[in-house]
A and B are shown apart, each in its own frame.
Chain A
Amino acid sequence: MYPHERSLVQRLAGKPFVLIGVNSDKDREKIKKDIASENITWRSFWNGEKGTQGPISAEWGVRGWPTMYVLDAQGRIRYKSVGSPGNETLDKWIEGLVEEAEKGAAGN
């Protein structure tokens, strides 16, 4: 998954898009190292020491990993998938909403 996420972040650099993680690893020091070695450039909330039982995923009712939500520029939940929906689908969702955001910004 990381290669595709990396390419999304690179391809959409400068566009109104951001990838935010909610990392659910228990060991904060270990995940810091993994983030460096895997060249993960995007920011993540840390779900805390309880890992997948942490407060953010509990609040959101997340039961499967990965789970992804795609929000539009107004902060509305537009898509959700438990497990990856597939790279092509994910690209289509995000690119459609980025286009919508750019049009919206141009109209203001």
Chain B
Amino acid sequence: MFLALLAAAVAGVREPRAVSAQEGGFDAIMKEYSKENQDLMAKYRAEKDPQAQAKIRQEILGLSPKYATRFLEFARANPKDPQAATALGRVLSAARGGPQFDEAIELLVANHIESPEIATVCQILANNRDPKAEAALVTISEKSTNPAVKGQALMSIAGRLNDAAGREGSIEMAQKAIAMLERVVNEFADVAGARGKLGDLAKADLENVKKFGVGQTAPEIEGEDIDGVAFKLSDYRGKVVMLDFWGHW
């Protein structure tokens, strides 16, 4: 849905799309994929035996990698087709590193660097911890001249840096994330992203990293425990604190 809207919004700057046999090819793969997915889901719901269910679950999980091969073939055979960008996005979300991932990035950068659909690909790459995903985002942010793509690539790099800062305990990475977000606020504020204007999203993230990022003094929490007794986070100053946001569900 988002893709359709985004495509419509920038239709003016895109080359007119010729309906080709190749495009039918992409749609045919998508249709086949959806059908196989739906069939397996129905089978899963109808199955009572947990062991058989687990097996079907594995089959469902195996669908993305299985179709990644076909999407990659499509993009390889139709490098200039706009739908190849979408196909490559599917490859990247399934492949997560490995030779298919490398080839998909190569094709994307070579043929679709200005395609607005790469903005969605950047969001996919934001959640991929493979270092290659970061390298790809940097390449996209440097090479694309499309503000929607560039802005989203920077947002995704910042998100990855911030996550990595937390896991590595790195103040330096947190500072880099801040610099990246400030760039989005300064240069790409009015670009429309999936969840709103990039400037607004980046400002909210900035505020959070500056207050709750690695290296910051934790802001006070004043509240009540489960029994209604008031206490404060700072009551435990002098001790290492593991602050665990949890729920029993």
Residue contact A80 to B237, C-beta cutoff 8 Å: no
Q: Which residues of B contact A (CB under 8 A)?
A: 163, 165-167, 169, 204, 208, 212-219, 221, 223-227, 231, 233-234, 236-249
Q: How far is the CA of A84 from the CA of B239 in the complex (A)?
A: 21
Q: Which residues of the other chain, B, contact A17 by a CB distance below 8 angstroms?
A: 239-242
Residue contact A56 to B242, C-beta cutoff 8 Å: no
Count of chain A residues with a beta carbon within 8 Å of a chain B beta carbon? 58
Chain B min CB distance to A82 (Å):
7
Q: Known contacts A65-B246, A67-B245; is A23 also within 8 Å of B238 by CB?
A: no
Q: How far is the CA of A71 from the CA of B213 in the complex (A)?
A: 11
Q: Which residues of A contact B (CB under 8 A)?
A: 1, 5, 8, 16-25, 28, 31-32, 34-35, 38, 43-47, 51-52, 56-57, 59-62, 65-82, 85, 89-90, 93-94, 97-98, 101
The 8 closest A-B pairs by CB, nearest first: A80-B166, A45-B223, A61-B208, A71-B241, A24-B247, A69-B243, A97-B240, A16-B239
Please name the residue on chain B nearest to A59 by beta carbon. Answer: B219
Q: How far is the CA of A74 from the CA of B234 in the complex (A)?
A: 10
Residue contact B214 to A79, C-beta cutoff 8 Å: yes
Residue contact A46 to B169, C-beta cutoff 8 Å: no
Residue contact B218 to A77, C-beta cutoff 8 Å: yes
